[in-house]
Amino acid sequence: EPEVTQTPSHQVTQMGQEVILRCVPISNHLYFYWYRQILGQKVEFLVSFYNNEISEKSEIFDDQFSVERPDGSNFTLKIRSTKLEDSAMYFCASLPGRAADTQYFGPGTRLTVL
């Protein structure tokens, strides 16, 4: 069964450094999402992406964040200058978009900012 994959599974970085989290959505899916989950807290929506542009973003997704689909398979989340409070699990999700309702989530990347 096709699945969303994410790399790396765990990323450790120093405060102020840039990080790029990578996702490979399910082939032929058209809509892509990033969510995050701070330890012990709720899963929070960050951004949705369709047709090579951001469709919707939350208040969390400020100028430090950006997303890109650099080729036909990868979907990336970049944090330009990480802060301690960016430490969280980051989940990528994708959606077929053709009369389909289900977002499929990846296993997540644990980001630790020191």
| Residues in touch with another protein (CB under 8 A) | 4, 31, 33, 35, 37, 42-45, 48, 50, 55-56, 58, 89, 91, 93, 95, 97, 99-108
Min CB(62)–another protein separation in Å? 17
The nearest distance, CB 96 to another protein, in angstroms, is 8
Residue 61 vs 82, nearer CB to another protein = 61
Strands (E), the chain: 5-7, 10-13, 19-24, 31-37, 43-50, 53-57, 65-68, 75-79, 88-95, 104-105, 109-113
Query: Nearest approach, Cβ of 24 to another protein (angstroms)?
Result: 13
